[in-house]
Amino acid sequence: MAVLDILRYPDARLHKVASPVATVDDRIRRLVQDMADTMYAAPGIGLAATQVDVHERVIVIDTSETKDDLLVLINPEIVASGGEKKTYEEGCLSVPGIYDDVERAGRITVRALDVRGETFELEAEGLLAVCIQHEMDHLQGKVFVQYLSRLKQSRIKSKMAKLDRQAA
Ligand code: QAP
Ligand code: CO
């Protein structure tokens, strides 16, 4: 069990673009395990490697009520998206205490590698579709607050700075 430190917005490292994983080996499987430990400990429903300062295309998600349905996406690609756009109140482990509405595709098909290095495809809608899109944004260096107004972004930055001062 290894719980990793999660970068907090507005850390510049959250805006780095992740590289594809070349080989799904034991190093990647250890990273996946540590990311899952970190997500469950938080607790959260999704975590991208970027958030633990590892800039490789790895995501863990568990949107189940029972927290026993880990989804691992390595080198994820969205191969189709559509449906009605859906607005969801999102949060993020890198922006604790902040929740706001973001509009995204209601339905997506994602292709990725699993922990054995095998390719699979997944169709998602609802919360899972939101979560996959949110986590894939992290791999591109994008945090959900960047969809909000400049005013909201600057208020969130001030709030985060204040929380840091209180913690210090
Ligand atoms: C991304 O977020 C997500 O503010 C995953 O104080 C969120 O796990 C996708 C969390 C919502 C879709 C909808 C946030 C925990 C967890 C907080 C999370 C907090 C404690 C966020
Ligand atoms: Co996030």
Q: Summarize pLDDT for 7-65 with one digit per residue, the tens.
A: 999 999 999 999 999 999 999 999 999 999 999 999 999 999 999 999 999 999 999 99
In the reported structure, the alpha carbon of residue 42 is separated from the centroid of ligand 1 by a whole-number distance in angstroms of 9
For position 7, what pLDDT does the model report?
Answer: 98
- Strand partners of residue 121: 111
* Residue having the nearest C-alpha atom to atom 11 of ligand 1: 90
**How many Cβ atoms from other residues are within 10 Å of residue 97's Cβ?**
9
Calpha distance 21→57 (Å, rounded):
6
Specify the pLDDT at position 168: 80
Mean pLDDT score of the chain: 98
Q: How far apart are the CA of 44 and the centre of ligand 1, in A? A: 6
Residue ranges of the domains in the chain? 12-167
Across the strands, what pairs with 119? 113
Indicate the pTM of the whole model: 0.98
Q: Which of 7, 39, 45 to mutate to test the pocket of ligand 1 (most atoms within 8 A of CB)?
A: 45
* Cβ 42 under 6 angstroms from ligand 1: yes
Q: Name the CATH superfamily housing domain 12-167.
A: Peptide deformylase (3.90.45.10)
The residue contributing the CA closest to ligand 1 atom 17 is: 96
Residue 88's beta-bridge partner residues?
102
What is the mean pLDDT of the segment spanning 108-135?
Answer: 98
CA distance 59 to 106: 20
| 62 neighbors 114 (Cβ within 8 angstroms) | no
85-100 mean pLDDT: 98
What is the structure's pLDDT at 104?
Answer: 98
Vertex 37: Cα angle to 34 and 38 (nearest 5): 85
Structural tokens at position 156: 């969130």
Which pLDDT belongs to residue 40?
Answer: 98
Work out the average pLDDT over 61-84: 97
CA–CA separation, 165 and 168 (whole Å): 5
Amino acid letter at 96?
P
Query: How far does the centroid of ligand 2 lie from the alpha carbon of residue 138, in Å?
Result: 7
Angstrom distance (rounded) from CA 50 to CA 135: 9
Average pLDDT of 83-112?
98
| Residue 155 phi, psi (nearest 5) | -65, -40
User: Residue with the nearest Cα to atom 13 of ligand 1?
Assistant: 90
